[in-house]
Structure 1
Amino acid sequence: MRLPDGGASLPPLPPSPRRRAVHIPSEAAAAVARLTGSVGQLTGATIQLARSLRETDCAPEHGTTETILRDLRKTQAELVKIVDGLRAAEAIG
């Protein structure tokens, strides 16, 4: 489809934003990031388990899953710190 006046009456388009540089992480950073994602999935599954146990009045088991959740969340936070450190080291080096 052609414009009637060849597009001469259209306002000029603003310049496109600059593309960000592509960053490919090291194998170590990528592996730890995948591990962090897996821990996140485990955390989600454990939350569902804790919820089910709470709803079925299994108090002792619910308490155990809450302890596991605290440990998983702590582990995930530590893994995030490791990934951040690896990324920072890659940016410097």
Structure 2
Amino acid sequence: MQKYVEAMVGGGLLPEDIQTTRFSEHIVHFDENIAYGLGILKRSTFYGHNGSLPGFTTSMYHSPEKICTVIISFNSQLEDTIPDQLFARFVEILYGGDF
């Protein structure tokens, strides 16, 4: 998963023009630091994706600026806690509000 999310964010999986579009056109803005575009979620300087299937939930993000990759995976689905909440708390501990 680490190699995949780093390639998904850093390039190499898609043609360069599509990769550039993914980072420049965020279709849905949830707030000033969270936006979703063409198959990629932006959370401040981190980019990645999340998803789940019955019994499994995962979030994976990479920040080229921070040179940091965070992957959180549950082998269950917890209704009160999702990996993105843990991701946000984790990077807040690492970087404060500037992540």
TM-score by length of 1: 0.25
- Which structure has greater strand proportion? 2
With a CA cutoff of 8 Å and minimum separation of 6, indicate the structure with the bigger relative contact order.
1
- Which structure has greater helix proportion? 1
**Structure number with larger C-alpha Rg:** 1
TM-score by length of 2: 0.24
